[in-house]
Chains A and B, each alone.
Chain A
Amino acid sequence: MKKLTLVGIIVAAMALILAACSAPAAAPQVVRETVVVPQTVVAAQTVVAQQTVVVPATPEPTAAEKVLRINLGSYPDIVDPQKSSFVNEIAHLNLIYEGLTKFNEKLETVPGAAESWEYNDDATQLTFKIRPGLKYSDGTPLNAARFRYSLMRNINPETAGEYAFITDEIAGAPEWRGVAAEATDEEKAALREVVSQSVLALDASGQPCLEGAEGYAQEDCLTLQLTLSKPAPYFHTVLGIWVGYPAKEENITEGGEIWWTSPKYQIGNGPFILNNMEPFVRARFEPNPNYEGEKAKVPIEYAYITDSAVAFQAYKNNEFDIIGLAAEDLATVKADAELNKEALIYPGSCTFAVMFHNLKEPFTDAKVREAFTKSLDRDAWVQDVLKGLGSPTLTWIPPGYPGYQEGETRGAFDPEAAKAALAASTYGTAAALPEVVDTFSDTPRNRTRNEFLVNQWKTNLGVDVKLNPVESTTYTALTKDVETSPQMFILGWCADYPDPQNWLSVYWKTGAFGERIGYSNPDFDALVNEADTTSDPAKRAELYAKAQDLLIESAPVAFMWNNVNSYLVKPWVTGLVTTPQDSGWAGIQVPTSIDIDASKLPQ
């Protein structure tokens, strides 16, 4: 009878493993016929949020419950306003917090927590007026002292935030941030003091607010005054992004390093309250009743499925309301009348280009770059590879963003001109070119993309380009530095905030990102430097336009395509407002307007 005992043991083991899941409702079939195994049943857990909103940790969605279920993709590494940097992390912060300014559906900078702001004459001082009577979701007051703390925390070297450099315009910020670890406490304190004077929270009488908890409670502490090290008329826009979000000091101190993982400490001033965050499974957000703007209408739930084929199946199964639409699934969507109506495709915030290393043979020769650029059929690329999920471009700033230049034709597809350019280069013929290698981060998708690209040069220019797939972090490590940067690779840039400065100065100025392919143009630098410090919007725009013109003229890269945001949205989701900067999911910039039409929900 040994055999039976064995079976018994196995069944019992199985039951125990499953019992650990503590499911009172549905018992596994295997267990049903056997003896009752002593279960350590943990009673249905409840998480009590700060707002006494009691929600079961694992709420079962019923057709009747109104909740917006979104597949976000990868799980965030960290959800801390001053430390996060990744799109998916920001998708969480966006809901929980609101900055001094924010962006509307036209990507204009509009008042957020600040009701107004003004620069001094030479744009070296920026003063925000905070709305009076603002509250956190837990009901505690929010004033200028809170924002001061956040900005100071962002600059503080101890924080070592990944986007800390974005506030380097604040006087003293780069110095304090860059202080050597070995520096004495006095040196550190001195540097801190400089920043502390550049970021001032002032009360009604213009005096600095009280320090610490008293300052946070001070009702008239409503002025935030920033001193900048150079004229920066775009800086109010920078403060619309997540680094300035006012996380609460006492929560960060009390919660320790992992404060951000707990809904208890993630208390913000945004339209939503973090209710529950189960790592790698889901996060749930409830509307914030204390939000000063338009109140959110439905709770939001994020899931973290990275496999797009699985997410697509789940969407078809009515398990998600919004998912990203992958190019591979587009054909299926188009063939299905229902799904086709649910597809939402609109311009995005990124520009992609084939980068040529300007200091590596043969791309030192501008004629060779021209030849490679002109032999790229962008329309075919968009149609065959991106399946229409993208739009061809010949310029840098994408449509929908301030600074976009319509009607650019330089570098357009023209195989004859391409061959002529190659003939006019110092090499003369395709055979005389040194070996050209296209390096890419290896994913199944990138493989097809780069195979297509190489095919273009082969067909249109007669040049054999080799492919070099590398692992993704290797790719990052290689492309970071001008020395190791590959001869040729595809790279894109997505807007942080809607201002030409973010596209031109931040990327192409000498010493900036363009450095990695050896781009350095003194004339360009002069133009953007002047534009960055010019207050007059019209003059500024003109200078940036000139700079972009110069960039395209010197053609260091082949501008290729702009991404589009492509999502599938269920018909019962209403009130979606989309912007190009919808990274994460459709409608993220204005989440409060979204509602669910219960009458359309499937029964």
Chain B
Amino acid sequence: MARFLIRRLLWLIPVMFVVAAITFILMHAAPGGPFDKDPQQRQVDAITQKRLNAQFGLDKEMWLDFPALMQGNVVGFFDTQFFTYMIGGTVNGEWRCGFICGNMGPSFRQRGMTVQQIVLDPPEGKSPWDSKAGYSLRLGLLALIFAVVVGIPMGVISALRQNTAVDYASLFIATSGVTVPSFVMGIFLIIIFAVWFHLIPVVPRDWSDPTVWILPAVVLGFGLLAQTARLTRASMLEVMRQDYIRTARAKGLSNRMVIVRHMLKNAMIPVVTIMGPALAALVTGSFIIETMFGFPGWGRQFVLAISQRDYSMILATTLVFALLIQIANITVDLVYTFLDPRMKVS
């Protein structure tokens, strides 16, 4: 177990570097740069552009600086954009430590701010939970809890009552969960709950009021809820037909014990598998939901960063996401052994 953990944790490093390298290639291959403005706007002039490139280290070599190596400057060989971001390098005459020091770099777009300040620093005088990352994390967890708490019982019940009205109702809910895009569901729920019934404001002014979190969490969690419910139902049906369930029942175990001990545990493998990455995806936020509800989270930052080519924000978010995904997957592998002790994690 310990060996497994250590090995997997060590694997984090090469994976992160590969992810960073791919992202780096992609974002520089995308046309335009961070100082290009919306097409309707006046663009930055050439002089300022050059100056900004220098200030942000965009005038350096991308990967490896061969001319510097020719001059025998080994440090200079690695003093390039990629390694400056990942490990460290000189920018605008100053040495700066990179991502390995937990430094996410200066934002190219929200000038003057570092990526940490944007996503991790809460507004003045508030707790870290009120930072953008904190908001996304909270919303993601709420959505996940919603999906699990509603989805799993829904799946279990519809498996136990297969082909009854309950089953079809849950199928209907699940199908609408995946087929209605969040940008559609969001606006309809807003109209129903805010405009018709006046239960919540359309645009939450105050996110410290818990009631305004419900709608975005529901919209965010609905897709996962649908999948969870359907997967739970399918695996339950699968498990119910296995011989050992018949044996368990034959032994006279109570119906409830059979369901919880034997069926549910075995049926959870596919659910847990999708849950890991889903959690990572949920807590890094959702562009559409954040835009629609005016939610100050991280997800919007990321999508904006891509369209604005805010290189450090893109890299930072991707790397954090990669880290979360891997930790989630390690956890999933560990949970497998708990659910089915015969499964060996290699």
Contact = CB atoms under 8 A, between A and B. Distances in A.
Interface of B: 30-33, 35-45, 47-48, 50-52, 54-55, 59, 109-113, 117-118, 123-127, 129-130, 132, 134, 138, 141-142, 145, 148-149, 187, 190-191, 194-195, 198, 201-203, 205-211, 213, 260, 291-294, 296, 300, 307-309
A86 B39 CA distance: 12
A157 B92 CA distance: 13
Contact of A14 (B37, B142, B187): B142
Given A21-B208, A26-B209, A165-B47, A280 B41 contact: no
B113 A280 contact: no
A279 B296 contact: yes
A177 B44 CA distance: 13
Contacts, number: 202
A260 B207 CA distance: 24
Interface stretch (A56-64, A127-135, A459-467): A56-64
A86 B37 contact: yes
14 contacts: A20-B138, A21-B129, A85-B37, A162-B37, A181-B51, A259-B112, A310-B202, A310-B294, A314-B201, A473-B32, A476-B38, A476-B39, A477-B32, A480-B36
A263 to B, nearest CB: 9
A260 B112 CA distance: 9
A258 interface: yes
Nearest to B187: A309
A177 B47 contact: yes
Given A17-B141, A78-B112, A281-B294, A26 B211 contact: yes
A203 to B, nearest CB: 33
Interface residues of A, number: 83
Contacts of B190: 310, 313
A350 B201 CA distance: 34
Contacts of B308: 473
B260 A3 contact: yes
A86 B195 contact: no
B38 A45 contact: no
Contacts of B206: 58, 60
A83 B300 contact: no
Given A314-B203, A473-B309, A45 B47 contact: no
Contact of A317 (B41, B110, B126, B202): B202
A494 B40 contact: yes
- A20, A58, A257, A314 pick with most chain B CB within 10 angstroms: A20
A2 interface: yes
Contacts of B129: 20-21
A177 B48 contact: yes
A75 B179 CA distance: 31
A278 B121 CA distance: 12
B202 to A, nearest CB: 4
A530 interface: no
A319 B296 contact: no
A21 B111 contact: no
A475 B31 CA distance: 9
A307 B47 contact: no
A587 B309 CA distance: 33
A75 to B, nearest CB: 9
B44 A317 contact: no
B127 to A, nearest CB: 6
Given A165-B47, A317-B201, A478 B127 contact: no
B38 to A, nearest CB: 7
A23 B31 contact: no
B145 A13 contact: yes
A526 interface: no
- A174, A281, A303, A316 pick with most chain B CB within 10 angstroms: A281
Interface string A125-168: 00000000000000000000000000000000100111111000
Nearest to A174: B47
A458 B260 CA distance: 67
Contacts of A280: 132, 294, 296, 300
Contact of B111 (A77, A279, A282): A77
A473 B260 CA distance: 53
Nearest to A440: B39
B191 A313 contact: yes
Contacts of B48: 160-162, 164-165, 177
